[in-house]
Structure 1
């Protein structure tokens, strides 16, 4: 996405990165929505969407909420297959993402390193190229991993005449493809800066994660005239508590331990579509064929256990 007109160098320097990321995600989502809207079949409505309420909407986290696994892993797997980067870079990328997802460690320096690593992969490539590849990667790795139960929840909101948005740290281009394929309204995702259609290797703000997701939802609601008290939000992760806390109808979907505890304390609704081994595997990346994944995951789990 080209640097937006409102993003002056002074504002970039003085505005919190989470706010910049949220505003950029909201602007990107609204632009995509204006250009491309769709609908899709579904079933099994939850009990609260109010038909005809055009000030209500639903916001869905993506990884392990709508889709089994993490979109960024499937994207990385597809780019590696297309020789965007080497095996060593893939192993490092997988380790970084596993650390965040399984160990729950969010050291600022580590996050910066992971962000720079991911951006270096696409720097110099055209946005149109990544979008076209993203369509192929969705068909190859993502389409069969959509949770039917969560998909039905999203469809219930659509059937009630409400807008439904994905909210994810995945690149906005990837998130928009997934939203369109599922017939959703659009997507809020991490916005990578581009100039003349070519990625610069920089982000607008920061990855759309944690507080930045809440900022994105808040910015979109303001721009679209939504009443957050009437809106719903869905996530599996305690990192999304800021987003879930914004709305009147928060849902914990396939929740991690911290979110489950938080949701029970506040009487939030819970849904879990995992069974048996699937539940045990949630959060572990699906980047098959890379030897570093198993070792990295085991180390991350060990760190997690020591910290808890």
Structure 2
């Protein structure tokens, strides 16, 4: 008896993953064989229905809930029956599917031909792909730029275009328009210049009320910085626990929120807790230490120590993988 579509998709996903394929490589295979677009292919690569993908979104971002209909609309785009995902949505989908923003739109047509410079101006228009670039690391940017250059018609022309673009961006970066008034550096700008992105070791302590028992929670998180905003997402944990931190950097202080979904097989049975967090930034920018505040199972307010210690400055997939299930 012929296998169902879902079973055939699952078999292909398992085959490519067994060969060591990344999520993007799995999605590319799904796209080729089943004729779906890249956004649907990345979801299928994870084995999720649209409803299951929405559930996982809502676990990470409960303040911005989505349903299967949202995923359906995003996957139908750019057809008239779909809705174009915003850059913020694309960034979150990239985090959910463990890919780059560029991978989500790899199948969208490129209409770059026309008036010289017009396409580039559109790409760099404020509020356009500049915001998208903030969610990409250097390797992703290099890959996209190489793809553009490959369309130049020859190796020499492509290299010439990249060199010209590099020189132009260097001049723009040195422009006085990008300097704070008076040439000084604000605290937020200083935070951005220092750079907090990387792999961090997170450790918090919870003391049970009325006892001397301590529970220590440890995670490795991948953190990305956008201006003064610091967002850290837990890497795969040996117990299945999931952690997310969102902080505002205002040296020497970082203030924000935390959210943890506990181990589905542990004492707290996959319960989700959240609260506030304030930390002091060490002058080395390699350590943050402070206190967390949050509610307990009986809706009492608890508090404890929390530290973050940087392990790596890179956020590449290879570096992230080295910290999978380390705790």
TM-score normalised by structure 1 residue count: 0.25
Structure with the bigger percentage of helix: 1
**Whose RCO is larger (CA < 8 A, sep 6+)?**
1
Structure with the bigger percentage of strand: 2
TM-score normalised by structure 2 residue count: 0.24
CA radius of gyration, larger in: 2
